[in-house]
Structure 1
Amino acid sequence: MRLSALIKAAATGAVLALPGCIDTTPRTPPQSRPSDLPTNIQSAQSQALAKYYARMQADLLTQGLLRTDGGGPDTPFSADILARNFERIAFFDEYERGAGLRAARGDAGALRRWNGPVRVSVEFGLTVSKDQQAKDRASVSGYVDRLNRLTGHPISMREQGANFHVLIVSEDDRPAALSRVRQIVPNINPASMQLLQDIPRAIHCLVLAFSDAENDHNYAKAIAIIRAEHPDLLRQSCIHEEIAQGLGLANDSPQARPSIFNDDDEFALLTTHDEMLLKILYDRRLQAGISAEQARPIVRQIARELLGGSS
């Protein structure tokens, strides 16, 4: 492997699938400081994190990683490889449900995705500068439009009535971000709240996906937490991976290439391979709740169609 275990761990995002609930609270953006105090002033802890992640991004780029080209002639893959990668990424979990960062046991589950429209909002902590807010809002909006076109599933930006909340916050915004999470998910489980209260530095970003109360395999709500201390490319990488994982591609695989669903950090942004994974995930021939065994021949057929019959 070209990266140390520490770097690989540091690039890991988390998908935590939790029991569903109904959001009946008004929207209150994260606020971490009284209104009479200056904003955009970083604490020593936040400044240290920003320097750490800036060095990390520079190191990865020096190694030729964090590619943004989407893959090319050096990263070929066949329909069989695509189907295999889809099964590993869509039917297996990285972390055990409702248990924070406890590793999953490795058993295949059923397919999970959104059946209803996905309405995405982006909110910022008070310490996030206006320039960064504008940049990140444009990044999320453009990515959401791309996902809508790719999947054929209704995915759009919303100021109100969102069910997929992207929170871009710094360490200094953490108390307010926790309050916002409790507003969105009043009955969130203790293990998840404990994780959010003290996110390890090794975790760049994470997404929590919540199932519908009436259908455990149908996502009804999600919250992505993205560190504002990241430099631009790492922050954009988090946006790409966490939103895609929150749509149902919950796992990573060391065999997936070219892909952001791989802890090797080779690719920073959604690749052509990953676009196909999303197309398979939301193909109408599959349904939420289908098992890996039931889905396997359907997935192979879709993969062959996407790659022009190549196996």
Structure 2
Amino acid sequence: MKAGFLALGLAVLSACAPVGQAQRLDASGVATAPIAAFRPGTPRPLPASRPNAEMVRDFLELGFAMESGRTIERFSRFDGPVRVVTRGPAPVQALADLDRLIARLRSEAGIDIARDAQSAEGENTITVEFMQRRQMQAVVPSAACFVVPNVSTWSEFVANRRSPTIDWTQVVTRTRAAVFVPTDTTPQEIRDCLHEEIGQALGPLNDLFRLTDSVFNDDNFQTTLTGFDMLLLRVWYAPELQPGMTRDQVTARLPTLFNRLNPAGRQHAGRNAGITPRAWQQAIEQALASSGGVAERRAGAARALSLARAQNWTDTRLALSLMLSARLAPRDDGEAALSALLTSAEIYRNTPGGEVHAAHIDMHLAVQALASGQSDMVLDLTARAMPIAERSENAAFLASLGFIRAEALGFQGRTAEAERLRLDSLPAARYGFGSDDAARARLDEIARIGSAAQRLAQL
């Protein structure tokens, strides 16, 4: 999990959030007086906004299949109150983020879940074990974080990693699950891991690229559990469903459940996305893979776009294919890449949950506008994207937008506003990028784009 692609023309922005004291940076990036740490306000997740009939199909696809494509024969969940315990050296901010998540699960999903201060282990327990990434990846090299059933500790997982004991397809009533999270990463990435892996420990085990409004989607644009996710979990733990039910039994109950719990979704049947070929998913995974070289990733994006067009898709699968193709396009294909980005943004903007994806495209376009000295366009694009970044609690995204906007303000001679915005964006940058040095690197990267544009304007 957790890769994402928030490139300021280059890098990826997928992180998580801390709470410590941040430091001010002056215009040159030099630390000065302390500044308040990044603290998101009251959660305001984007609500579930698709027709219930469509979400029923999503529930079934998420609940009765693994990411690998293996079928899950029986519906599974915890039966009774769930307790969360932690092991290992947990960062202070991670515990605060965990408690915030648990509070949301109680209030938004209606799940009887709480954190036990003591590391007692027993039935109906989710254990979150914090550990060094190198220890984790020595056993599971590709994992950023993950969840396993029927174990409570890392040593127990290692001892059983080739055993059917930890096969999710064999689990009916969930009694124990362990979430493994690295501590040597950004606070935002730790938080994102907590949201996705605890969400999977409680509910769906699949990820679908077409779900723009969910964290159960490996494109990683959504960084915290969304309104759709909380509605799905509320349905998952409704008394009408029981562990061990077949797909047909669950299917029979879902329309009534969704209509009761989400009356706003009693609309038309919605669209039926149909089957997504495995070949397209593999091509997208290749395009997103951070381990692949540019040529390999570009080939994956081209193949995904070709397959999307062959399927005559007009939905977010086409939008994602277009976006990746544009992001990975060679420099001399700039005009075609821009056209692909604009088409992708239009699809996302007209798709429930697509606001976040469209905002990321706005950021990319803002960088291009900044590089060409179009400061008014930068201000328009960032003004549209920043409320979405704030509402989705993506600190790295929010900070980057603030830094970009500050450069545009500076370009217009609004120096005091620009400096104030840089300072105001720093707490989110530290939370999202992990340190003052990383925040400074992002600030400097964007400042270089703005400075180059100003030099060009003076020629």
TM bucket, shorter chain: 0.5 to 0.7
Which residue does 1:113 correspond to in 2? 77
> Is the CA contact (8 Å cut-off) linking 2:148 and 2:178 kept in structure 1?
yes
1:234 aligns with 2:186: no
Q: Residue 204 of structure 1: which of 140, 144, 169 is its match?
A: 144
1:84 aligns with 2:39: no
The residue correspondences of 1:1-311 to structure 2 (distance < 5 A) are: 11=3, 59-61=11-13, 70-71=45-46, 76-94=49-67, 103-105=68-70, 107-125=71-89, 133-158=91-116, 159-162=118-121, 163-171=125-133, 174=135, 197-200=138-141, 202-210=142-150, 216-308=171-263, 309-311=266-268
Higher helix share: 2
Residue aligned with 2:260, SS: helix
In structure 2, relative to structure 1, the CA distance for the partners of 1:59 and 1:297 (3 Å cut) is farther
Q: Output the CA distance in 2 between the equivalents of 1:118 and 1:141.
A: 14
CA RMSD of aligned residues (A): 3.1
**Which has more radius of gyration?**
2
Residue aligned with 1:290, SS: coil
Which residue does 2:305 correspond to in 1? none
Q: Output the CA distance in 2 between the equivalents of 1:150 and 1:10.
A: 24
Unaligned runs of 5+ residues in structure 1 are: 1-8, 13-52, 63-67, 95-102, 178-195
TM-score when scaled to structure 1? 0.62
Q: Output the CA distance in 2 between the equivalents of 1:10 and 1:137.
A: 19
> Is the CA contact (8 Å cut-off) linking 1:117 and 1:155 kept in structure 2?
yes
In structure 2, relative to structure 1, the CA distance for the partners of 1:199 and 1:216 (3 Å cut) is closer
Q: Deviations over 1:6-65 (max 9, x none)?
A: xxx6649xxxxxxxxxxxxxxxxxxxxxxxxxxxxxxxxxxxxxxxx9999x93349xxx
> Is the CA contact (8 Å cut-off) linking 2:7 and 2:13 kept in structure 1?
no
Q: Output the CA distance in 2 between the equivalents of 1:84 and 1:275.
A: 16
> Greater relative contact order (Cα 8 A, min sep 6): structure 1 or 2?
1
Letter in 2 for 1:79: N
Higher strand share: 1
Q: Output the CA distance in 2 between the equivalents of 1:86 and 1:119.
A: 24
In structure 2, relative to structure 1, the CA distance for the partners of 1:76 and 1:245 (3 Å cut) is same
The alpha carbon displacement at 1:291 in A equals 1.2
Letter in 2 for 1:271: T
Q: Output the CA distance in 1 between the equivalents of 2:253 and 2:242.
A: 11
Residue aligned with 2:228, SS: helix
TM-score when scaled to structure 2? 0.43
Letter in 2 for 1:71: L
Q: Deviations over 1:281-304 (max 9, x none)?
A: 000001011111111131122122
Alignment: residue pair count: 217
Unaligned runs of 5+ residues in structure 2 are: 15-42, 152-164, 269-459
Q: Output the CA distance in 2 between the equivalents of 1:251 and 1:168.
A: 23
Q: Output the CA distance in 2 between the equivalents of 1:300 and 1:54.
A: 36
The alpha carbon displacement at 1:198 in A equals 2.1
> Is the CA contact (8 Å cut-off) linking 1:207 and 1:222 kept in structure 2?
yes
Letter in 1 for 2:184: E
Letter in 1 for 2:46: G
